[in-house]
A and B are shown apart, each in its own frame.
Chain A
Amino acid sequence: MPSAHPMVPLPCSVRRIQRETHDTFSVELSPGHEFPFVAGQFNMLYWFGVGEVAISISGDPTKPGRLTHTIRSVGSVTQGLQKLKPGDVLGVRGPFGKGWPVETAAGGDLMFVAGGVGLAPLRPAIYYVLANRKRYGRVVLLYGARTPADILYKQELERWRARFDLQVHVTVDHGTGGWQGRVGVVTSLISKPDFDPGSTTVMICGPEVMMRFTEAELEKRELPPQNIYISVERNMKCALGLCGHCQFGPTFICKDGPVFPYESLRRFLAIREV
């Protein structure tokens, strides 16, 4: 158990800050001991005097000595976190939640579909699969960003693209600054790779509309909906299933998710303001 009491943050110092894009950065923490987690889990990060937010772990689950998060600054707390520097101390509660079904997906093909900062919660699953590459069939990553400047982990994507055992397709909504690649929404990439719909597990992370459209597109390609998993965000205070904030229909995103089989949420995703 990383922290003595799940409501009490564990102090961790910042080892490294990596600027990813103009508004997104990665923070590597030194938890002081191993911090085992499952791909798709998240932590509650507390910065003294600033506040606490839910952030997925974006690092490698096969290297539990390092604890990395990728944060997009959007509001009061995440903008405050943008000022972090090495040596600063954050409070960490976690890891929380259910992760990606990387184990049940073994033996079949795998497709990751990411939109924007949604690539961050998927990255640990990609690391895990690459570390256990023999156990999976074809592996595909489809990634959509707003503009070329918003693409996360550029060098890593290049390295991955150079591998023969991983197909990487990237698209942007607006092709600025001499972008030579594809322009269009991420769903338009689904026709690109070759995959066997019956044996493919799909893990999607991005804005809710993007996940809905992706699912619809996959269904058109006759992928069984029960093979589709998504990660969902809701306001969250405790992350323990006690504060009530993250309810979505009958589920608590923090303890029943954040990763869910699409089927279990389908009917609620179709209703506005659940």
Chain B
Amino acid sequence: MNGEPATTGRQFVIEREHFDQLFELLARKGYRVVGPRIRDGAIVYDQVNSAADLPAGWTEEQEGGKYRLKRREDEALFGYAVGPHSWKKFLHPPNVRLWQAMRKEGSLEVQEEKQEVPKTAFIGARSCELHAIAVQDRVFMNGPYLDTSYRLRRDSVFIVAVNCGCAGGTCFCVSMNTGPKATSGFDLVLTEALEEGRHYFVAESGTETGAAVLAELSQRPAEDREIRSAEEVVARTAGQMGRTMDVSDIKGLLYANYEHPRWDNVAARCLTCGNCTSVCPTCFCTTVEDVTDLSGQKAERWQKWDSCFTMDFSYIHGGSVRSTPKARYRQWMTHKLATWIDQFGTSGCVGCGRCITWCPVAIDITEEVRAIRESDFRRTKRDRHGDTGTDSG
């Protein structure tokens, strides 16, 4: 590490015309660089070779069940919110081979998969996404069993975060206390500023590796006025949240309302398609698939993303435990917002809004919470019993 640790904690300015250096430098350091680019009408995460691959001048409109790309009036590189992809696809890929087995007369040989993990740099991770990564870290690295392949991928990542310059129509990170300003979990963080014909980034490192990278780029210490501009960008975004969620005693609320009639209401709309689980950056469930080759002598086990919205997910001999859509939606939402807290000491929702945008029938987790809170079973029960005790809800 030959960078100047002196850059840690201090803010620098990188002009837009020098921004390409970041991609060249990371490539030179052996990173596969992934970041936002436009594909099939959406901003997705994929390999990017230079700043030219980023969605310059594009933003999106997001609403329940709606996503549409839209031109911006400027050439901002990060002027969008979050799309259908999350970094989960790199850290916890949809398909992972776990092992291969060979059968030879009366014996069985099982070979653990040696995971080939390329060093990867994430460009443009948002604050909610850093929180989502921290949530999955707890799931895969803090339990009695370590997910070693997740660990390998996690350790090979260099994260360039970007403070959000605009909020999406379904964002609610402010409610979840997960954004829009990135406060930890990055190597470098950038705030993109466009003003009076200038286009630059205010950059700060979060780790020594980040500081070393920053030291090799063309930069200069930021002036107070530039730092203030960057702060204004984030403050403006915080005021633009498309959604809000009241999370006060959310665990108690949902634990007490397993039998709330709202679950029937949402179940009548839910298609149990599982879109919400695949776009959610924290959803971690997987299944395994064993495949045998034609000779019948070789087998492989693959781990694949799974969804609690399928019937198979909870199948035990005789039928699915959660056979109704009501039980499956309830499981998903109660897990996200309540049981997750008991399991991992954190909420399973970071307020990114993806599940709202990508739900084909526009089911909105913030609305579902609101509806349950409005007729909280505990309160209605007390009302019925004529108890007038004050309620914090």
Residues of A at the B interface (CB closer than 8 Å) are 4-11, 13, 46, 48-49, 51-52, 74-75, 87-91, 233-235, 237-238, 240-245, 247, 249-250, 252, 255, 271-274
Contact = CB atoms under 8 A, between A and B. Distances in A.
Contacts of A11: 107-110
B143 A9 contact: no
B277 to A, nearest CB: 10
A234 B144 contact: no
5 contacts: A234-B321, A240-B145, A241-B144, A247-B339, A274-B321
A242 B327 CA distance: 21
Contacts of B107: 11, 89
B288 A237 contact: yes
Interface residues of B, number: 50
A244 B306 contact: yes
In this complex, the member of A5, A75, A250, A255 whose beta carbon has the largest number of chain B beta carbons within 10 angstroms is A250
A49 to B, nearest CB: 5
Given A250-B339, A273-B323, A89 B288 contact: no
Contacts of B288: 52, 237-238, 243
Contacts of A10: 110
Nearest to A245: B313
Contact of B296 (A7, A46, A49): A49
In this complex, the member of B299, B312, B316 whose beta carbon has the largest number of chain A beta carbons within 10 angstroms is B316
B343 A250 contact: yes
B259 interface: yes
B67 interface: no
* Secondary structure call for the B interface: mixed
A9 B110 contact: yes
Contacts of A5: 112, 148
B284 A91 contact: no
B308 interface: yes
Contacts of B148: 5
B343 A255 contact: no
Given A244-B306, A274-B331, 18 more contacts: A48-B103, A48-B292, A52-B288, A75-B317, A89-B108, A90-B108, A235-B315, A238-B286, A238-B288, A240-B147, A241-B144, A242-B140, A243-B288, A245-B287, A245-B314, A273-B322, A273-B327, A274-B327
B286 A7 contact: no
Contact of A8 (B110, B144, B321, B343): B110
Contacts of B321: 234-235, 273-274
B139 interface: yes
Contacts of B318: 74
A139 B284 CA distance: 44
A51 B308 contact: no
Contacts of B316: 233-235
Interface in B54-90: none
A242 B145 contact: yes
B324 interface: yes
Contact of B145 (A4, A6, A8, A51): A6
B101 interface: yes
In this complex, the member of A6, A90, A91, A242 whose beta carbon has the largest number of chain B beta carbons within 10 angstroms is A242
Nearest to A3: B110
Contacts of A51: 290
Interface string B98-126: 11010100111110100000000000000
